[in-house]
Structure 1
Amino acid sequence: MAHFLAYAMSQSSSANSSPLSQWAALPSSGPPNPYAAAFFSRHNGPPHLRHDAGLELLRRSTCLDSPSEQRLCLPSTRDDVIGRLDKWVADSDAKRIFCVYGPIGVGKSTILRSTEVRLHTTDRLGGSFTFQRDVRRNRLFVTTWAYQVALNVPSLRSAIARAVRRDQSILYADFETQLRRLILRPCTKTNLPFPLVFLVDGLDECDPACRRDVFTLLENAVNTERSPLRIIIASRLSLDTIQSAPVASLAIARSSDAVRAYLASECGRIHHGLEPWFSPQALDAATRISGGCFLTARMLVRFLSDKDFCPTQRMTRITMLASRPRFASQHDPLDSFFHMILSAVPGTWRASLHLLLRVITTTQLTRLSLGHIAQLLGLSSRRLARGLLPHIHALLALVPGSEAGCIEPFHTAFVDFLLNPARSEEFCVVGPGQDVLLVECLLRALSYRVDGPEVNRCGYVAWSNLDAMVDLLTSIEIDAGSVPRIELLLQKVNPDYFFQTLSCFETSGRKIISWLNRMQPTPNDALKLWDDYAYMAFFHNAMNDFDPDDIDPDTEEHIPEGNLLHHPILQRLIRASLALPPLTPLAPFRLLLGTKYEDLRAAICDVLRPAFGRNVRGLEALWAVHAKTMHGGDGADEEDERCSWGAVFSDLALNSLRITRGVFAGRVPVEMMGFWLEWGRFVRSSPSTGPACDEILAELHHFAPQESQWEWGVAVESEVHDVLKWLESLEEVPRHELIRWASYLPRGTRLEQDDAYESRWVGWKGFGAE
């Protein structure tokens, strides 16, 4: 449990760092590659000194197993199986494919890892790959093999790298093409002393069609003329149903003796008070619980070694479980163990437990970080790590190489258990009731109003996972009895998530509307609200496409009669859209305008939509009238002072400064930080007298752009320059403020300041400029 808690602690500590510091750093290259480490240690040079463009491109299209997952057989165990494989490798007349098969948890993967090490020491290893229930990962099957061959067989390295350099599209080709050009062709052109052995694990994790295609590919590869390949496959299933010709095979049975030896070895590593802390009778009980299944044994060890609990007390629970009558199914050991752990979770955590189990077994939500899972469950990362996860630590694992602390089921057998109601009973994660609970959980997460500093600093789940959450939501059919409850939650959803980019609503919001239309009875109130959001998205996109230079001067005739030119909120909205940079999303636009979605909705949907509908030309005409006033044209007269250009720029200046400060203080999510916060330009465009001037001056007094917090550059320096120009235009300004703001600019000639900084201001169309 310590690693889960360590991640939660790191999230809390990261809250003190700058929210923008992550923008400047490049992502990590991932965990070290054991193959590369072995190769470069033999060839006297670190990777960066022996760089090859072809190999580097190939490396990026690989998926190597984590070294921590590569367990080996204990001494004096499985000697018969390993000996059989050794003989097959040495026999040049043996069938070219060897299948090791048996039920889950008998140690097939461990046998393969031990065989892989033996092959590597004799320079017979080509490569290995473990298939999983991840289509994207499985697509890297052949490229991973090719990369391993390049590292394991020096004589083939240059040929493989050259093939990639000559045609980089090979990295995206089908398996057959990749295998032929990256492995078979280089191998057949080189006189290898003996065939290369390739290992395939987890083939049964693929769907039947994929499993058949991969095996056919391998069959054809080993039967190619002069083929230097031999294959060892580990699978739960025999290959009888998909093989076209006989293969060598060996059935692996469960071994209680091997499991007992493993348990004794691993329990001996657990230090607890006086040694030994477990008796032979307790070890016999644990062996009976395992039923000869290594998977159960590994989970038992994880269960016993959890530092948050006393191992002797947990061993007592295992001994009590061993004394109960066993179930009749082939999954007895695993099912008994799963039930023992899940049933021991305190009742106060049961609701969160069911949601957590559903989240980690749902395809759309796989690989969520611990922090994001906690947010979905409505918990803090610390509370989840300290409260619930310790009870089920043996059933979960951190995703290898995940810097964000992603968790997943320890083994797919646990997923199979949870998806089978006959096996998991009350812990089953499928069914209408569980679906509705998940929908409510997701909608509550989408209703979060981003007012928590810790969450804002760490990043909220809905910002980065909106598409996945919406895809999952809209894939679930809602029964009639649950529609009223779901409708209320849909009306509370925070629109910011759907307006975080210009295209976000079209990709995600439209799916919500289609989902609402499928519900019976029709949730009319929620449907009307989301239809209004759809029009707001259309309207905002139309605003961003507007260009005053492309508008016909005689456009006022397209404006319907009425008071549209003098509607206060519309005036401020349109003028702000003309002042803000193009492509500004609606979510930060609303914050910069300082208004609520209810007011925007009323102005756009209740005033503009009846007048224009989706008539873009009419909307452009309305924009054109306001655009004229920027450059001194006639335009709308008798405007409300609150809607004047000076008032609009003052609001943009104040709100952009407050948003920026709010991001650093954690009051505003970092997603609101972007190119649209041109606070210096907005300040310089604001009036230099009046109450707004005093407000801006007071806000600037508390505003301090520090290099340690900012991604510093010419853009920020230009903003500082514009603030300085505005301060210099004031009749009375504290001298210390001028000195402070001048200190933020790097020292340079007057020419550098005038040309580099002033050119941006002059280049802008002069909105508010003299």
Structure 2
Amino acid sequence: MTSNTILQNATETTISGDAQVINAGRDVNMVHGPPAGLSQLLRPVSNATYTRSGPVAKCDPGTRVEVINMIRNWLNRRDKQSVCWLNGPAGYGKSALSQTIAERYANKGRLLGSFFFLRGAGDRSHIARLIPTLAHQISISVPVTKRLIGRALEEDCTMLDSSASIVHQFQRLIANPLSSPLNLFSFFAKSKILVIDGLDECDDKVQMAEFIEMLIDMSQRDQLPCRIFLTSRVEEHIRKKFGDARAQSVLYCIDLAAFDARPDIQLYFEQEFGHIYDQNLPIMRRIPQPWPSSQALSVLLDKAGSSFMFAATLVRLVGEDSMPSKVLQEVLDSGSNGLDPLYKQVLSSASPTPAFHRVIGTIMILLTNQSIESLSLLLDIQAGEIVFELLKVQSIVKIPGDDNKPIMLYHTSLRDFLTTKS
């Protein structure tokens, strides 16, 4: 693509062919080639939405019914509480709830867009791509906004610069298009929802605090065009903004720690361990049913507490072993509760080699998730050997089917466990 400053002081000039004319002050720039589409301009993060590929956690049928009903009732209200903040400790199922809500309301035609932050996952760990990604989805779910968003970008060519204010971006690319008098849909937008998961997974704490403050301010002035569903751990930069007295009248808060997750985790255990038993029948048929026994199940529930991440990790650990009952018994015999002992068990049974330590250590300390191919070049280890080492911990690390796709952690608490001094 070439660009020339031409036509200065020219009059009665005709331009033909596939060229764009861009007015930049007193000069006119002609750029050859077809005009850029909205998607090219916004550059949305495709793997940050609820339709992202790979293993995605969501609520099993019959679980989290009370919480989902609370979210549904909030969505159906017409009050000033336009923002819902669902919070809870690591592993309590916040992202699974976000995924479930996003899927459910997409099917109902009420989802405007979604964004799932994830630490160490490139653009998913930064706030810069949040508004453009949401705006792109809105332009699809509400087609009339496409022209309005495009016009906003034409009027302000610095809108998508890294230095641009997220408040300005939200106002011009989301709030204004959805509220515009030209948008006949604007009356119905209040019943729609944006889902933004994992605010604490975003590395840009200052900008995130600014974003939360903007949402509260706009909600107070009744300027939010839709309902906004947010989730996070209770980290200080987030808590301060949501804990402010001004936020209370416009914020609907759901604390997952206040709910008894034991019945839901029990249902999940019974279903998943039943599948494991059936899938390994030649080995398991000598184990009396129900497996695990009622007493063993009670011990597992005590160990899980309210952590769905513990439950999911345990199921993967047991299900992927050739001797499921033996692994489960080792967990039952351990005296500690929570995720950390489970991580220790997985890592200690991995038969670690020098290559294993190099691969896992590198994954933990790098700021962004690397592909198998990238790690192979970086560490000078064959790709097949990297996969071999990762298979030892596949219950806690997601191994991509493509060597050029990033290796992911099932939960970022694993990085905290391995890199934080106890």
Q: Which of the five TM-score ranges fits, normalised by the shorter chain? A: 0.7 to 0.9
RCO higher in structure (CA 8 A, sep ≥6):
2
In 1, distance between residues paired with 2:268 and 2:150?
Answer: 42
In 2, distance between residues paired with 1:93 and 1:151?
Answer: 27
What is the 5 A alignment of 1:473-492? none
1:355 matched to which residue of 2?
358
1:392 matched to which residue of 2?
393
2:159 equivalent to 1:176: no
Q: Taking structure 1 as reference, are residues 127 and 363 closer, same or farther at Cα in structure 2, changes over 3 Å only?
A: same
In 2, distance between residues paired with 1:367 and 1:86?
Answer: 35
Q: Is the 8 A contact 2:87 2:254 kept in 1?
A: yes
Q: Is the 8 A contact 1:58 1:147 kept in 2?
A: no
Q: Is the 8 A contact 1:57 1:164 kept in 2?
A: no
Q: Is the 8 A contact 1:102 1:251 kept in 2?
A: yes
2:304 matched to which residue of 1?
290
2:335 equivalent to 1:338: no
1:301 matched to which residue of 2?
315
**Aligned residue type for 1:293:** S
Give the superposition deviation at 1:85.
Answer: 1.0
2:207 matched to which residue of 1?
210
Aligned-pair Cα RMSD in Å: 2.9
Q: Is the 8 A contact 1:96 1:230 kept in 2?
A: yes
**Aligned residue type for 1:186:** P
Give the superposition deviation at 1:391.
Answer: 1.5
2:231 equivalent to 1:234: yes
Aligned partner of residue 192 in structure 1, secondary structure? helix
In 1, distance between residues paired with 2:141 and 2:113?
Answer: 8
Equivalent residue pairs, number: 358
1:146 matched to which residue of 2?
135
Give the superposition deviation at 1:248.
Answer: 1.5
In 2, distance between residues paired with 1:317 and 1:232?
Answer: 39
Q: Taking structure 1 as reference, are residues 58 and 285 closer, same or farther at Cα in structure 2, changes over 3 Å only?
A: farther
Q: Which has the larger radius of gyration?
A: 1
In 1, distance between residues paired with 2:37 and 2:154?
Answer: 5
1:114 matched to which residue of 2?
100
Give the superposition deviation at 1:276.
Answer: 6.9
Give the superposition deviation at 1:418.
Answer: 0.4
Q: Alignment partner for residue 216 of structure 2, among 191, 194, 219?
A: 219
**Aligned residue type for 1:113:** Q
Q: What TM-score comes out, normalization by structure 1 length?
A: 0.43
1:615 matched to which residue of 2?
none
Looking at secondary structure, tell me which structure has more strand per residue.
2
Give the superposition deviation at 1:144.
Answer: 1.0
Aligned partner of residue 194 in structure 2, secondary structure? strand
**Aligned residue type for 1:355:** R
In 1, distance between residues paired with 2:140 and 2:410?
Answer: 30
In 2, distance between residues paired with 1:385 and 1:240?
Answer: 40
Percent same amino acid at aligned positions? 25
1:321 matched to which residue of 2?
331
In 1, distance between residues paired with 2:416 and 2:332?
Answer: 23
In 1, distance between residues paired with 2:169 and 2:357?
Answer: 43
In 2, distance between residues paired with 1:52 and 1:289?
Answer: 58
Looking at secondary structure, tell me which structure has more helix per residue.
1
1:445 matched to which residue of 2?
none
2:211 equivalent to 1:199: no
In 2, distance between residues paired with 1:342 and 1:300?
Answer: 13
Give the superposition deviation at 1:89.
Answer: 1.0
Q: Alignment partner for residue 265 of structure 2, among 248, 259, 268?
A: 259
Aligned partner of residue 395 in structure 2, secondary structure? helix
2:85 equivalent to 1:81: no
2:4 matched to which residue of 1?
none
Give the superposition deviation at 1:336.
Answer: 0.7
Q: What TM-score comes out, normalization by structure 2 length?
A: 0.75
Give the superposition deviation at 1:350.
Answer: 3.8
Q: Taking structure 1 as reference, are residues 80 and 124 closer, same or farther at Cα in structure 2, changes over 3 Å only?
A: same
**Aligned residue type for 2:147:** S
In 1, distance between residues paired with 2:335 and 2:222?
Answer: 57
Give the superposition deviation at 1:273.
Answer: 3.1
Q: Taking structure 1 as reference, are residues 89 and 392 closer, same or farther at Cα in structure 2, changes over 3 Å only?
A: same
**Aligned residue type for 1:147:** H
In 1, distance between residues paired with 2:382 and 2:97?
Answer: 41
Q: Alignment partner for residue 280 of structure 2, among 250, 272, 282?
A: 272
Give the superposition deviation at 1:285.
Answer: 5.2
Give the superposition deviation at 1:127.
Answer: 1.6
2:375 equivalent to 1:369: no
Aligned partner of residue 357 in structure 1, secondary structure? helix
Q: Taking structure 1 as reference, are residues 362 and 101 closer, same or farther at Cα in structure 2, changes over 3 Å only?
A: same
Q: Is the 8 A contact 2:374 2:404 kept in 1?
A: no
1:410 matched to which residue of 2?
410
Deviation by residue 1:686-741 (Cα, 9 ceiling, x = unmatched):
xxxxxxxxxxxxxxxxxxxxxxxxxxxxxxxxxxxxxxxxxxxxxxxxxxxxxxxx
Give the superposition deviation at 1:406.
Answer: 3.0
**Aligned residue type for 1:333:** G
1:529 matched to which residue of 2?
none
**Aligned residue type for 1:125:** L
Which runs of 5 or more residues in structure 2 are unaligned?
Answer: 1-33
Deviation by residue 1:477-529 (Cα, 9 ceiling, x = unmatched):
xxxxxxxxxxxxxxxxxxxxxxxxxxxxxxxxxxxxxxxxxxxxxxxxxxxxx
Give the superposition deviation at 1:225.
Answer: 4.9
Q: Is the 8 A contact 1:102 1:252 kept in 2?
A: yes
Q: Taking structure 1 as reference, are residues 275 and 353 closer, same or farther at Cα in structure 2, changes over 3 Å only?
A: closer
Aligned partner of residue 114 in structure 2, secondary structure? strand
Give the superposition deviation at 1:58.
Answer: 4.3
